[in-house]
């Protein structure tokens, strides 16, 4: 009775109260997938200020986390956070993609929408404050040319990719790393939000061809004006893990 009364009051101000479990909480569902796949190493690609890594750590993931973040401004928040955790490493500043060299990344007003790709008007209209406000030139590398410095024979790898439309290029540079991975979390766009990006069907098909199966879909970016889903997060597990 008391719980219902509290929940009613919380809902009146636009929030909700619920027990954390894989069916109702995205972070708990991710950690459940990590546990099911016996993951002990996570590559956090597109770490921003460390939100993903911080959440899975707080929810019980005890393995190694390696964060990759290209933006100088985001790294200023990420690095001090990771420094308090001996098993959380922040890789040198760079983007990950399909080649080694240098690249220009566009900086969005909200930081999290920053991308190598040009942003479409549809994204700007659906997320106020996401328009680009600048850019910076940074190194770019293929994950395959970096991964082995963080992996051991006993590593059970999970790769999280949140690169705002640049997921396909990250996968292009990670063919060998994918063979080591037991699972992935990949942002999937349902509609075009960045110029030249691949949409969800292409990425799901590609990962299935790489031996992964879709484990779960999580709510992502929604247009607050219309309620339309624009992006979702897909959790994929390797087929032999999925079926165990």
Beta-carbon contacts of residue 123 (< 8 Å; ≥ 6 apart):
113, 130, 193, 194, 230
Please check whether residue 7 lies inside any domain of the structure. no
Q: Mean per-residue pLDDT for 36-64?
A: 98
Q: Give the pLDDT score at 3.
A: 47
Q: Mean per-residue pLDDT for 196-222?
A: 96
Instruction: Count CB-CB contacts under 10 A for residue 110.
Output: 13
Please check whether residue 148 lies inside any domain of the structure. yes
User: For residue 41, is pLDDT > 80?
Assistant: yes
Q: Give the pLDDT score at 243.
A: 74
Q: Give the pLDDT score at 5.
A: 54
User: For residue 237, is pLDDT > 50?
Assistant: yes
Please check whether residue 5 lies inside any domain of the structure. no
Q: Mean per-residue pLDDT for 238-243?
A: 84
Q: Give the pLDDT score at 238.
A: 97
Please check whether residue 88 lies inside any domain of the structure. yes
Beta-carbon contacts of residue 11 (< 8 Å; ≥ 6 apart):
none
Q: Mean per-residue pLDDT for 63-69?
A: 99
- The CATH number of whichever domain residue 113 belongs to comes to 3.40.50.150
What would the pLDDT profile of 13-26 be if each residue is shown by its tens digit?
Answer: 555 555 555 656 99
Mean per-residue pLDDT of the chain = 93
Q: Mean per-residue pLDDT for 70-75?
A: 98
d(C-alpha 61, C-alpha 196), whole Å:
35
Q: Give the pLDDT score at 188.
A: 98
Locate 232 and state its tokens: 């979702």
Q: Give the pLDDT score at 37.
A: 97
Q: Give the pLDDT score at 10.
A: 55
Across 45-49, 179-183, 199-203, 217-221, least confident range: 217-221
d(C-alpha 75, C-alpha 92), whole Å:
10
User: For residue 1, is pLDDT > 50?
Assistant: no
Q: Give the pLDDT score at 241.
A: 82
Q: Give the pLDDT score at 16.
A: 57
Please check whether residue 12 lies inside any domain of the structure. no
Describe the crossing of helices 51-58 and 72-83 by its angle, rounded to 10 degrees: 20
d(C-alpha 35, C-alpha 30), whole Å:
9
* Residue percentage of the chain with pLDDT more than 90: 86
Count of domains in the chain?
A: 1
Domain containing 82 equals 25-242
Locate 67 and state its tokens: 């964060």
Please check whether residue 16 lies inside any domain of the structure. no
User: For residue 51, is pLDDT > 70?
Assistant: yes
Please check whether residue 199 lies inside any domain of the structure. yes
Q: How far is CA 43 from the centre of its chain?
A: 9
Q: Mean per-residue pLDDT for 194-201?
A: 98
Across 7-21, 45-59, 89-103, 195-209, least confident range: 7-21
Please check whether residue 162 lies inside any domain of the structure. yes
């Amino acid at each position: 009775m008391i719980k219902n009364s509290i929940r009613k009051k919380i809902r009146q101000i636009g929030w909700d109260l619920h027990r954390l479990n894989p069916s109702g909480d995205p972070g708990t569902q991710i950690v459940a997938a990590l546990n099911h796949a016996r993951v002990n190493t996570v590559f956090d690609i597109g770490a921003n200020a460390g939100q993903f890594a911080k959440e899975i750590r707080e929810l019980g993931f005890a393995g190694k986390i390696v964060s990759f973040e290209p933006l100088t401004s985001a790294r200023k928040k990420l690095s001090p956070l990771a420094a308090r955790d001996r098993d959380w490493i922040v890789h040198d500043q760079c983007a990950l993609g399909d080649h080694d060299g240098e690249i220009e990344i566009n900086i969005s007003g909200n930081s999290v929408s920053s991308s190598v790709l040009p942003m479409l008007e549809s994204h700007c209209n659906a997320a106020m404050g996401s328009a680009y406000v600048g850019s910076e030139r940074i190194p770019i590398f293929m994950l395959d040319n970096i991964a082995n410095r963080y992996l051991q024979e006993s590593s059970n790898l999970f790769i999280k990719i949140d690169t705002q439309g640049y997921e396909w290029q990250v996968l292009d540079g990670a063919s060998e790393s994918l063979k080591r991975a037991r699972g992935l979390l990949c942002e999937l766009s349902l509609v075009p939000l960045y110029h030249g990006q691949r949409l969800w069907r292409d990425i799901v098909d590609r990962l299935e061809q790489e031996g992964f199966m879709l484990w779960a879909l999580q709510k992502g970016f929604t247009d607050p004006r219309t309620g339309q889903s624009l992006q979702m997060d897909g959790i994929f597990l390797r087929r032999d893990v999925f079926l165990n």
